[in-house]
Amino acid sequence: MGQDVRYALRLLRKSPGFAAVVVLTLALGIGTNSAVFSVVRGAILQPLPYRDPARLVDVLDASARDPNLSHTFATYADFEEYARHARSFEKIAFATWANAGAKLTGRGPARGVLAIPVSQDFFAMLGVTAALGRTFLPGDMSGDCPVVLSDSFWRSTLAGDPHIVGQSLELNGRACIVTGVLPARFEFYPRQTNLWMLFTPADPRPRDRFPAITFGRLKPGVTAAQAQSELAALHRQMSQPDWQRDFVPAVHNLQDEFTFLAGRNLRATLVLLLVAVGLVLLIACLNVANLLLARSWARAKEFAVRAALGSGRARLVRQLLVEGLLLAAMGGIAGVAIALALVKYFVYANPIELPIGSDISVNFPVLLFTAFLTMATALVFGMAPAWSGSRTDPGAGLRAAGRGAISGGNRRFASALIAVEISLSLMLLAGAGLLMRSVLKFGSADLGFDPDHVMATRSSLPERRYTSPADQSRFFDELRSRLNAIPGVETSAFAANIPPYAGGSAEVEVEGRGRAGPMDTNTVGEDYFSVLRIALRRGRLFTREDVLGAETVAVVSEEFANEYFPGADAIGRRVRVWGEKDAPWLTIVGVVATERHPELLREMSWHASAELYRPLRQQPVSSFAIVVRTRGEQADTGRAMARAMSGSDAELPVGEIFALRESLGMYLKYPRFRAVVLDQFAALALLLAGLGLHGLLSQYVAQRTREIGLRMAIGARTRDILRLIAIQGGAPLGAGMLLGMAATAELTRYLSSLLFEVTPGDPLTMIAAPMALLAVSLVAMARPALTASAIDPLVALRDE
């Protein structure tokens, strides 16, 4: 074996260019595969960073009739029932991020914080202990509002005060005692959480309406299905309000749930990229196999001599496999360097959100995967030349070496490899084209509003200072004057909810038609539609005269009007929100374009829903959003908005100020990442396929130089030689494209769930992908064809 290795090294030193091409080709294939595998392992296969994570689950509600409501908040009353009676859990707890915003005062400027209500056993269930102080204990239930801080909040907002435990924070006017600070490495959803607030019996929120998620640690041996069956039985025994009777508890593995929360199609995205990069590696191996085949043909005389001197087939196979393994090892080492660089860039760029606990690095399991990949590639590309070289007949080999000929079988085998490369490249091109077309359509979809040049933030009124609707209206008028005075601001408005999220959901009663819905409802200021440029279709918008005491009015979306008043005019009709105490009838005075919002459970989907708008002056709100339209890009608008808010009321919490377009961009992250990465893989595959075709024809021309010279000497013209080369290159090209089109039909069906307004058989993509491949192939065929047509017959015959 040592002799084989030394001989292989001598051969590679004699052909450094050949070795460099092979090693680089393999390094690209192995490195990209190792990098993608490190992401897959870190995002999907890495266990959650909690104690015994395989037994952790969450419990949400699922609608028995509507599949779009399969991950819905239950209520705190459900959690209490499960905690009292369920026997499937070792520990059970609850948390919720619905309506979890709070206002922090007394620690510098008032600010909004994300304070997640949790039950006393929440951290114990996860097996998490505090880095400073402690988490919650049963005795804390008698306190007002004990809190545990996140490490980032403690360091950034409270300056890392080492004596913070035992101190109080004023949250929504309540003095909350800090019991501990969590470790820096602790994460849970939502990632932006500043602190966790113990939900005590003193909390005034109604248990039967308070949205909650139940979390639990299953007892050893209990499955999620068994727990779900037990909870379903308990749920049926509970007294349920009408709106909740359609829902049943659904138990999910916590790791699967975190993967879903990070990205609705995260698993499908990573599997798709792993398949794509695997195809790139296969193309690279086929290319290397063709290069080694050509090299083995050039060494036909060597093999014939060695066979004549007594070397058996097994000996020749071993030598060729050792050469292939040596090249693969060198490619694997270079591939590790490429993987390290790609992973480092991925972590730095942070192109997509990954689940909690993800560790993206080239660690020992990734290195083992790389080693396995290196061995596998050595076998894949090494077997063809080993098989071809070992079949040497000494006499025939010496005669062929003297003529420089390649057997027809070997040439057909090499052409078949190129055809497979071309078909795989076409598959990747078509898939990348479909995804990119979907991204472009999704990003340019008509949303019913214009998010460009709009800044937004959320805040809430100090309730003890704005007790009446008149006080609130005066505050909003003053703040709006300050905002509109900011240089570069066109106008501003207030609303209970703003895009990309839909408004609150409620059932509405349509006069003369009964109850309808649920549907989106929103409370907005009179300039809301102007700021977002939501077009008026019929009637009028809200005005300053739509105040308390005046006729109660509403504006509805086109979707609402078309659904509940088909073929009739909605203007003048009356509706009211079902379930509100003393709910007034609202006269519809206008119809506006329908806002489209992203769907919670589906990626790549804008949902147009019926929406009811009410005027802010008739329906005051304490928690609100601000939207400001600017003239072009205004870099200082955010800081000016914060100053205007603090100037209106020093206790007004200032939340994150963001560009509305950027908030929509988060829904493009996964689709854009998939499309861009697959495009890069497709481009690499196209390049490798082109190089493979170029190499095949170059070998053909080099091996048949004398034959081509003879043809030209007896009268063949340049176009005849070009036709000969075109036939040699066109055969694998045509076969590969036909095979690729058939395979593409299967691939695109798999991609259908990742597409937006693009069909798997999209004509533009199905034409553009083969045309791109054909263009690259023609370029690859051009140089060998020109080389063949420039052969001097006299020189070729003289060599003969």
Confidence at 223, pLDDT banded by 50, 70, 90: very high
Strands, E, within 106-145: which ranges?
111-118, 132-133
Question: At residue 401, does pLDDT exceed 50?
Answer: no
Question: At residue 405, does pLDDT exceed 70?
Answer: no
**Residue 394 domain-assigned?**
no
Check residue 404 and give its pLDDT.
45
Return the DSSP state at 219: P
Tens-place pLDDT, residues 37-48: 999 999 888 899
The span from the CA of 434 to the CA of 567, in Å, is 38
Which residue, among 660, 664, 657, has the nearest Cα to 638 in the 3D structure?
A: 657
Check residue 194 and give its pLDDT.
94
Q: What is the mean pLDDT of residues 654-663?
A: 88
| Cβ neighbours, 10 Å, residue 372 | 11
Tens-place pLDDT, residues 271-298: 889 989 998 988 888 888 777 776 665 5
**Residue 391 domain-assigned?**
no
Question: At residue 627, does pLDDT exceed 80?
Answer: yes
| CB of 466 closer than 8 Å to CB of 475 | yes
**Residue 1 domain-assigned?**
no
Helix (H, G, I), strand (E, B) or coil at 457: strand
Which residue, among 798, 590, 588, has the nearest Cα to 710 in the 3D structure?
A: 798
**Residue 706 domain-assigned?**
no
Listed ranges 336-345, 386-395, 414-423, 643-652; the one with the highest mean pLDDT: 336-345
- Beta-strand relationship, 623-630 and 247-253: unpaired
Determine the angle formed by the axes of helices 394-403 and 300-308, rounding to 10 degrees.
Answer: 150
Question: At residue 579, does pLDDT exceed 70?
Answer: no
Which residue, among 528, 278, 557, 535, has the nearest Cα to 427 in the 3D structure?
A: 278
Check residue 316 and give its pLDDT.
64
Confidence at 403, pLDDT banded by 50, 70, 90: very low
Which residue, among 691, 670, 528, has the nearest Cα to 611 in the 3D structure?
A: 528
- Beta-strand relationship, 147-149 and 174-181: parallel
Listed ranges 12-16, 19-23, 158-162; the one with the highest mean pLDDT: 158-162
| CB of 765 closer than 8 Å to CB of 434 | yes
Check residue 196 and give its pLDDT.
96
The span from the CA of 454 to the CA of 732, in Å, is 54
Check residue 430 and give its pLDDT.
92
| Final residue before a domain boundary, out of 593, 624, 651 | 651
Q: What does the angle CA 789 – CA 794 – CA 798 come to, to the nearest 5 degrees?
A: 125
As given in the structure block, the two tokens for residue 431 are: 């898939």
As given in the structure block, the two tokens for residue 452 are: 């460009």
| Final residue before a domain boundary, out of 261, 289, 312 | 261
The span from the CA of 748 to the CA of 426, in Å, is 12
Check residue 311 and give its pLDDT.
56
As given in the structure block, the two tokens for residue 697 are: 């024809």
* Cα distance from N-terminal residue to C-terminal residue, the chain: 39
Query: Residue 276, CB half-sphere, CA atoms under 13 Å: how many?
Result: 35
The span from the CA of 630 to the CA of 54, in Å, is 50
| Cβ neighbours, 10 Å, residue 662 | 11
The span from the CA of 288 to the CA of 382, in Å, is 9
Tens-place pLDDT, residues 72-83: 778 888 888 899
Q: What is the mean pLDDT of residues 391-420?
A: 60
**Residue 203 domain-assigned?**
yes
Q: Is the Cα dihedral 181, 187, 193, 199 positive or negative?
A: negative
The span from the CA of 457 to the CA of 642, in Å, is 9
The span from the CA of 100 to the CA of 115, in Å, is 5
Check residue 457 and give its pLDDT.
92
Burial zone of 444 (CB within 10 Å; 0-12 exposed, 13-18 middle, 19+ buried): exposed
As given in the structure block, the two tokens for residue 164 are: 């913070």
Chain length of the chain? 800
| CB of 588 closer than 8 Å to CB of 512 | no
Check residue 123 and give its pLDDT.
96
Instruction: Please name the amino acid found at residue 657.
Output: I
Top pLDDT among 698 and 255 is at 255
Top pLDDT among 122 and 653 is at 122
Tens-place pLDDT, residues 343-395: 999 998 888 888 888 889 998 989 999 888 888 887 776 666 655 555 555 55
Q: What is the mean pLDDT of residues 734-761?
A: 85
Q: Which domain holds residue 524?
A: 462-651
**Residue 8 domain-assigned?**
no
Gyration radius of the chain over CA positions: 34
Q: Is the Cα dihedral 751, 757, 760, 764 positive or negative?
A: negative
Check residue 794 and give its pLDDT.
66
At residue 127, what are phi and psi to the nearest 5 degrees? 75, 35
Which residue, among 119, 124, 127, has the nearest Cα to 82 in the 3D structure?
A: 119
Confidence at 6, pLDDT banded by 50, 70, 90: confident
Check residue 609 and give its pLDDT.
82
Helix (H, G, I), strand (E, B) or coil at 360: coil
Q: Going by C-beta distance under 8 Å and a sequence separation of 6 or more, which residues neighbour residue 221?
A: none
| Final residue before a domain boundary, out of 651, 667, 693 | 651
Which residue, among 628, 643, 650, 339, has the nearest Cα to 494 in the 3D structure?
A: 628
Confidence at 398, pLDDT banded by 50, 70, 90: very low
Check residue 382 and give its pLDDT.
65
For residue 500, whether the previous peptide bond is cis, meaning omega lies within 30 degrees of 0, is: yes
Check residue 393 and give its pLDDT.
52
Check residue 296 and give its pLDDT.
62
Check residue 543 and give its pLDDT.
93
**Residue 514 domain-assigned?**
yes
The span from the CA of 155 to the CA of 172, in Å, is 21
As given in the structure block, the two tokens for residue 665 are: 């961009």
Q: What is the mean pLDDT of residues 496-507?
A: 78
pLDDT, the chain, mean? 84
Determine the distance from the C-alpha atom of residue 522 to the mean position of all C-alpha atoms in its chain, rounded to a whole number: 30
**Tokens 């398949």 -> residue:** 275
User: How many domains does the chain contain in total?
Assistant: 2
Poorest-pLDDT segment among 21-25, 81-85, 644-648, 743-747: 743-747
Q: What is the mean pLDDT of residues 129-137?
A: 94
**Residue 200 domain-assigned?**
yes
Check residue 314 and give its pLDDT.
61
Return the DSSP state at 52: S
Q: What is the mean pLDDT of residues 523-531?
A: 94
The span from the CA of 527 to the CA of 481, in Å, is 13
| CB of 559 closer than 8 Å to CB of 608 | yes
The DSSP string of 409-424 is: HHHHHHHHHHHHHHHH
Confidence at 511, pLDDT banded by 50, 70, 90: confident
At residue 612, what are phi and psi to the nearest 5 degrees? -120, 125
Question: At residue 186, does pLDDT exceed 80?
Answer: yes
As given in the structure block, the two tokens for residue 16 are: 């450094």
- Beta-strand relationship, 132-133 and 489-495: unpaired
Q: What is the mean pLDDT of residues 557-572?
A: 90
Return the DSSP state at 113: E
- Beta-strand relationship, 174-181 and 168-171: antiparallel
Poorest-pLDDT segment among 14-28, 303-317, 460-474, 771-785: 303-317
Q: What is the mean pLDDT of residues 452-464?
A: 87
Percentage, residues of the chain above pLDDT 70 = 87
As given in the structure block, the two tokens for residue 295 are: 């090299």
Check residue 531 and give its pLDDT.
95
* Greatest distance between any 2 Cα atoms in the chain: 110
